[in-house]
Chain A
């Protein structure tokens, strides 16, 4: 405790006297970054915290604007220098190679690596632009910019106090960004950190914490989404549908592969893909469906896969009002043993390990599909495809209850199905339209089957 207190005091002193300028510089450089020494009287607390708390905390801390303004003129210089380096070397092509080249240029320019902290901060910020934010080798290369062995404490006093805090914090920042992008450091990272900061430094501790948690969290998601989603819309639909259904028996059927055709009148006709999924138990349920009650095609519902959004449709029915009647016990059912005990004794309360689950009034879902277009004609094609394996659909009235399509859910990432949906749904914009005449529907469906 005592030690820590000393450390804090010393640090704040040093900061006050020495390098308020610098810290202010990068605080504006990285507004979301961790260390933002505020007003001098609060410095002590904040700086000491920055090693132990996440950046999220410091982000919310109000940065006094006047303070930043004051420093603006001074800090601009070095900032511009580093940014320029990136702009200079890699003007048009922003790739891993050019990024590496920038780093190389910087390292070769000056033996003393002057301004390397600023450079690293700038590089960190530029990484997503160059598309290298998930590349462990690039992070290692960036750490390699630090001069080696200079910041390693050599005696117990140095070790006790925060040795080269700016550099250490910069190192932590590199690791922090790795953490945010879910990149697990490797042995090279560790070697570099030991070489640069020594084995008890703050970056090293950050490294150890990451190495403690990351492997443990690697498989926490039982339904992982691959980083690279399939490009082909049919494959994507297949993947998404199996993901929603989560049933090993469920069978995916491609009712229509997407293709473009030229009609007789010379217009281009694009036929959207239609991919559906249905499990044997769903087929069984559908076969037991009361034909006098309608089934509904509903949708679109969104499904997010990382930052892609896809839409799906379901074929469902209203919850059956009548209770399912139990099959009467047939004593002549099993040749080998009685299927029921003829005793007037219930399970004892003490051994009743079941608990009440409130039943939701949600009807059965018979099938799901994804399609390039969300209009009724396309979905009708799906239903007619389903009818081949579920003959009962020929007798059941099918109602289409389609929403006007994805609007606000579109979000930042425009998906493949997204924009097309937008256009499709505009054509029949009557939201939640209900078409009920089954007689009119029947022939259309058979047409769809012929196709």
Chain B
């Protein structure tokens, strides 16, 4: 609120200064005109203003502001850095973990036996990997998000271990960490951090994925009011069979304003409470070494002090846990792809066909370029997001984290599959680890919120943000306010006549290095186009947009690309400026990705225009409808005859 009103007064001043016209009816329109015409001057003002806000909280999220066609460059430029001490600490942490994974972990065996051997588990515990983000006072490593992401790069080399660790600390004990009280932390965290106890996160039920209303597990308060009795069953619980401590979500009766209502509450449940039983481990496609099973609760007595947060506040706890755990997938995927590049490039260089090595063939080269670009983008996004989350204050980076998750899970899948393709038939056999990577990788787009759901989250969160701010303007426009209409038309005309968009990324006070100027310009154009697209979508669909999933998907895709562009621009600018090793290669990667994403974005946003011939949505919906009505492929067989 503060920002918006500040901005308004400022622009009004500008209006008065620049054009001395009579106010009132024209005011709104001019405000719009000015908004776009003088970005550099405004930026200075905003910086000052932001500094004053900083102390309270940072409510200027980066990704959300893109929906308004704005670039909050202070959020993402310069690229976040770690201090010297922290860098040294990372060095000390990374080396033994890398050594452990290279020498002690036998991924093929884990995959085959569908079990992580106890000695490997012990090794992981000794390295402190079970309490990476638990503060040091509770016996953990107390790592920042950035360092956590760095270690995730290495643990990702074995999918089963990565998932086991993530289920333990990214979601399993996160509830206690972020919403638990001091007593709960003191009681549970030390043992969890040391790995003596394993944690699990129990939310999903047979009839409930994202739908909180269909959670059936119920916690009823005992008559003496000292404990709850939990009944119900949860499915697909990672670490379900091994966990000693579980974060369980259950329905509780809450009396609010004299009305009884069912609300979700979060509980810390120890297996030792009794009544907890776990089913047979699921036989999975990939991540076979991690344990996934059903967990049933039969009258499990849970003391009232084990409620996380307050009774009935479980929904918020669950959402916060889910939103905070996602960002690390970016670095995990990047770590995996880097490893794959090493493995495949060796093969491509040595294998000969027609007296030429594979690496000389264009189609093979393309695959390596793809892997490199993807790894680079994922890395950039992951550490940018981690850095944003590490900044003081209570940052809301859930949209960014979701973006990272989507991009890295899908990119990871493509890269793994291409890496396998380089080896051809060999890659398909169990003699090489590629088939295992392909299987392990397939879970990424599914868990921690499927990519479809996260796309909805990204697009809707952004639309909500933009909608709040733009509603007034759009309403004026719909009422036929000439001023606003002229303002819009002017803006359109201006962009039509090729006046370049300038968010101040390049140029004199620019934050992007000149060698990336082209890419930065493309990014700026995309952002401006995105802003107008979002506005017209809001105008056209209003709140009924929730049901336009195909549109929301494109909006999310554009945003993902925009955030990825930001990340590579920011990262490579920094690399050039500090003279990082091989920074010219980074510039190459960044420019390649940006131009690629620029055209993809343009295409996506063209599809979002009204009456766009590129848009096939109506047909797509119709095809699906006809197929689903019959629940079968309904074409007649091409060999069928009618006469």
Name A residues whose Cβ lies closer than 8 Å to a Cβ of B.
184, 211, 214-216, 218-219, 248, 330, 332-348, 350-351
Contacts and interface: CB of A to CB of B under 8 A. Distances in A.
B5 to A, nearest CB: 19
B213 A346 contact: no
A218 B264 CA distance: 57
A248 B632 CA distance: 11
B542 A248 contact: no
Given A330-B213, A344-B543, 15 more contacts: A184-B643, A215-B643, A333-B213, A335-B203, A335-B315, A336-B449, A337-B454, A337-B461, A338-B460, A341-B460, A341-B467, A343-B471, A345-B471, A346-B543, A348-B541
B643 A214 contact: yes
9 contacts: A335-B210, A335-B319, A336-B453, A337-B457, A338-B461, A342-B467, A343-B538, A344-B543, A347-B541
Given A348-B541, A351-B540, A332 B471 contact: no
Contacts of A339: 546
B284 interface: no
B463 interface: yes
Query: Which of A184, A216, A342, A347 is the most central at the interface, judged by chain B CB atoms within 10 Å of its CB?
Result: A347
B549 to A, nearest CB: 11
Nearest to B545: A341
Interface string B448-464: 01000110110011011
Contacts of B544: 346-347
A348 B539 contact: yes
Question: What 7 A-B pairs are tightest by C-beta distance, nearest first?
Answer: A345-B542, A343-B467, A215-B642, A337-B457, A332-B315, A341-B543, A215-B643
A127 to B, nearest CB: 22
A424 B643 CA distance: 46
A332 B318 CA distance: 11
A219 B635 CA distance: 12
B643 A345 contact: no
B211 A333 contact: yes
Contacts of B318: 335
A340 to B, nearest CB: 6
B540 A336 contact: no
A343 B543 contact: yes
Contact of A338 (B263, B322, B464): B464
A332 B542 CA distance: 22
A343 B468 contact: yes
Contacts of A351: 540-541, 610
B212 interface: yes
A218 B636 CA distance: 12
B54 interface: no
A332 to B, nearest CB: 4
B457 A341 contact: no
Contacts of A332: 212, 263-264, 315
A338 B457 CA distance: 7
B460 A337 contact: yes
Contacts of A334: 210-212
Interface of B: 203, 210-213, 263-264, 315, 318-319, 322, 449, 453-454, 456-457, 460-461, 463-464, 467-468, 471, 474-475, 478, 538-546, 610, 631, 636, 642-643
A442 B456 CA distance: 51
Nearest to A186: B643
Contacts of B642: 214-216, 218-219
Nearest to B448: A336
A248 B634 CA distance: 15
A35 B211 CA distance: 73
Nearest to A214: B643
Chief secondary structure at chain B's binding surface? helix
A342 B457 CA distance: 14
A348 B546 CA distance: 14
Nearest to A339: B546
Nearest to B547: A347
Nearest to B628: A248
A420 B555 CA distance: 64
A416 to B, nearest CB: 31
Contacts of A345: 467, 471, 474-475, 538-539, 542-543
A121 to B, nearest CB: 27
B212 A340 contact: no
A343 B463 CA distance: 9
A344 B460 CA distance: 15
The residue among A219, A248, A332 with the most chain B CB atoms within 10 A of its own CB is A332
Given A219-B642, A343-B467, A345-B467, A335 B542 contact: no
Contacts of A338: 457, 460-461, 464, 546
Contacts of B210: 334-337
B643 A211 contact: yes
Nearest to B464: A341
A216 B212 CA distance: 51
**Among the interface residues B318, B474, B642, which one has the most CB atoms of the partner chain A within 10 A?**
B642
Given A214-B643, A336-B454, A351-B540, A341 B315 contact: no
B640 to A, nearest CB: 10
B456 A333 contact: no
A12 to B, nearest CB: 37
B539 to A, nearest CB: 6
A278 B346 CA distance: 63
A130 B497 CA distance: 83
Contacts of B211: 333-335
A350 B611 CA distance: 11
A252 B109 CA distance: 51
Nearest to B472: A344
Contact of A347 (B460, B464, B540): B540
A351 B545 CA distance: 11
A337 B453 contact: yes
A341 B643 CA distance: 55
Most chain B CB neighbours (cut-off 10 Å) among A334, A339, A341, A344: A341
Nearest to B450: A336
A331 B341 CA distance: 45
A214 B457 CA distance: 52
A340 B457 contact: no
Contacts of A344: 471, 475, 543
A216 B538 CA distance: 46
B512 to A, nearest CB: 32
A262 B454 CA distance: 68
Contacts of A348: 478, 539-542
A340 B540 CA distance: 16
Contacts of A347: 540-542, 544
Contacts of B453: 336-337
Contacts of A184: 643
Nearest to A337: B457
Contacts of B449: 336
A46 B235 CA distance: 80
Most buried by B among A216, A333, A334: A334
A369 B14 CA distance: 77
For B449, B540, B631, the residue with the greatest tally of chain A CB atoms inside 10 Å of its CB is B540
Given A341-B464, A341-B546, A345-B471, A333 B212 contact: yes
A214 B454 CA distance: 51
Contacts of B540: 347-348, 350-351
Nearest to B541: A347
Contacts of A342: 464, 467-468, 543
B418 to A, nearest CB: 30
Contacts of B264: 332
Contacts of B610: 350-351
A14 B175 CA distance: 103
Contacts of A214: 642-643
A336 B542 contact: no
Nearest to B213: A333
Nearest to A211: B643
A353 to B, nearest CB: 9
Contacts of B263: 332
Instruction: Name the residue in A219, A335, A337, A346 with the highest tally of chain B Cβ atoms < 10 Å from its Cβ.
Output: A335
A348 B540 CA distance: 5
A106 B367 CA distance: 79
